[in-house]
Amino acid sequence: MFSVSIIIPAYNEEKRLPETLEKIIAFINKNKLNAEIIVLNDGSTDKTSEVVLKYNKNNIRLINNKKNMGKGFCINRGVMESKNEIILFSDADLSTPIEFLIPFLKNHEMGYDIVIASRACKGAEKKVKQPFIRDTMGKIFNITVRIILGLNIKDTQCGFKSFKSNVAKDIFSKQTIFDFGFDPEILFIAQKKGYKIKEHPVEWYNSKGTKVKAIKDSFKMFFELFKIKKNYKKGIYN
């Protein structure tokens, strides 16, 4: 089976990280995976770093940003510093259970370059749903992504995605958006480069304490779609 790098971006996550790290460590040990965990502390003002350091005997690496740089920046940095064959990034709250890594790895064995968690595919189930306004804005955004970018993906924003390492490093080297709107850009680059993408249905549990602001961030990400299209016309992703 592939070796895996698990990237977790974290901003003020001292309360949620202990349970998340314990679940991931137990999962790795149970499945006898060759895995590293990379936690990107994104300029936190709480004890996120101290929490991670308590687990440093479990092949966990802590990378600190001096200031808050955004989720997309953290993922990029984690990708570039990862060492293993498959790179998975997951939200710090494990809204998608870590157990879904197993079918993701099987998809990679079948030849897929990228596997992304989907809450919109047949078989997906939202066990704990988002507030209505956030859920609605998310659905509208995904429709907009397909219209503006021609991206043939039903759910670009679920924070659980895996990549073959060489594919990830190629794609993320072209990244220009470093906040929450980075997902469509990464997937757009992947599609244009002809990489094989698989959407896999998952269980999903909404967690309190999200850093996403439903309306403000949705509008910002909407305008970033035009930046992606403009970048493509300029040849930036070549």
Span 131-154, pLDDT tens digits:
777 778 878 888 899 999 999 899
Q: Domain ranges for the chain, please list them.
A: 4-234
Give the CA angle between residues 30, 90, 86 to the nearest 5°.
Answer: 65
d(C-alpha 91, C-alpha 152), whole Å: 23
93: DSSP letter: T
Within 10 Å of residue 18's Cβ, how many Cβ atoms?
Answer: 14
pTM (2 d.p.): 0.92
Q: Running DSSP on this structure, what letter comes out for residue 33?
A: -
Q: Is the pLDDT of residue 106 over 90?
A: yes
Q: What CATH architecture is 4-234?
A: Alpha-Beta Complex (3.90)
Q: For 194-237, how does the pLDDT look when each residue is reduced to its tens digit (9 = 90+)?
A: 999 999 999 999 877 655 555 666 778 889 999 999 999 999 99
| Choice between 80 and 1, residue whose per-residue pLDDT is larger | 80
9 has pLDDT over 70: yes
What pLDDT, on a 0 to 100 scale, did the predictor assign at position 7? Answer: 98
How many residues are there in the chain?
238
Pairing type for strands 197-201 and 114-118 reads parallel
pLDDT confidence of residue 214: 54
